[in-house]
Amino acid sequence: MYKLKIILVAGARPNFMKIAPLMEVFRSRQEIDPILIHTGQHYDRAMSELFFQELGIPEPDVNLGVGSASHAVQTAEIMKAFEPVVLSEKPDAVLVVGDVNSTIACGLVAVKLGLKLIHVEAGLRSFDRTMPEEINRLLTDAISDLLFCSEPSGVENLRHEGVAEEKIHLVGNVMIDTLLKNREKAERSAILDDLHLNSGGPYAVVTLHRPSNVDDPAMLERIMGVLEEIAREMPVVFPLHPRTRSRLEEKRGRRSLFLLDPLGYLDFLKLMAHARIVLTDSGGIQEETTILGTPCLTLRENTERPITVEMGTNRLVGSDPRKILGTYREVMAAPQTSGRIPPLWDGRAAERIATVLLAGP
């Protein structure tokens, strides 16, 4: 029997939740031979190794071990390391997910070697080209042969950009596949006990990592001031992305916040599920809180995931302290209600992707 040989690329923490269900489904199909490549874009234990263990992702067939660098250097190093692997493995296709540097780097290598490129989570647009991720999304979609969309806005964006209809497939959200599969397991996490948050009282969860929020010291200081204001009313749990930790001063003067190292997937899922509110600039967390029914304030002026605002619990608040605090108070004064679940966010996105791939041509 001929097997469809596909290289799947994972590089950074958001990729792992998307790769996990794809690897599981592909390995269950006799007609698919999946090969997992980890570029090493995120390489410390909490950002990488722990996720593989918790999500049951098999050990990568190859770890390129690229590590961190500037956008240009990192993208170039990934391309240089990935090309020999592709030449050796001779796959039928390369599958990339999301919008990180590994996505565009490996996509370019695949296309220049004449291979079919598959993009999972295609078509998302913030319409803000100052975001490195937006450039990665636009370029990857422009060179992809199959584009799998997680929400209807992705389909409309690709049509508007002139992508052929037969290339576009609305399949749902593979990251939600992972959340739904692991939700019960996450409930067994002891993170609330560890942080003494098990009394049932409200608490907030924060994540920040985007350059627009953390690279400007004045902007970061304004946001930290808002978080300390909220911390007067409830505990604020803030797992620090390595980028954010490097920008923050010593913990001196931040005693009102729970500043933590990055958490594993299951601990963080439990933390979000029981939070009264989440404040973030992450795209994926906007999606996860939509499913969990946890109110989310997105500290950005735009989102590439508009369905989380239209149907979910997400609100765009930008970075103005008055707007953040005003919306926070609105949310706290209102009864906590869940939004609607977006179409096809049902835990079967990876199965739909496999079905399309096996249908050919």
Is 38 tagged catalytic? no
Instruction: Select which of 119, 160, 169, 209 is catalytic.
Output: 209
Which residue type sits at 33?
A: D
Query: Please, are residues 98 and 106 in contact by the beta-carbon 8 Å criterion?
Result: no
The rounded distance, in Å, linking the Cα atoms of 118 and 116 is: 7
The rounded distance, in Å, linking the Cα atoms of 20 and 260 is: 25
The token pair at 249 is 């001063």
Angle, CA of 108, 141 and 282, to the nearest 5°: 100
Query: Please, are residues 328 and 344 in contact by the beta-carbon 8 Å criterion?
Result: no
User: In the beta sheet, which residues pair with residue 63?
Assistant: 38
Contacts 24+ apart (CB under 8 A), 60-67: 60/10, 60/36, 61/35, 61/36, 61/37, 62/35, 62/36, 62/37, 62/38, 63/37, 63/38, 64/37, 64/38, 64/39, 64/40, 65/40, 66/39, 66/40, 66/41, 67/40, 67/41, 67/43
The rounded distance, in Å, linking the Cα atoms of 107 and 140 is: 6
Secondary structure (DSSP) of 275-319: -SEEEE--HHHHHHHHHHT--EEE-SS--S-THHHHTSSEEE-TT
Query: Please, are residues 238 and 257 in contact by the beta-carbon 8 Å criterion?
Result: yes
Burial class (CB in 10 A: 0-12, 13-18, 19+), 70: exposed
Catalytically active residues, by annotation: 209
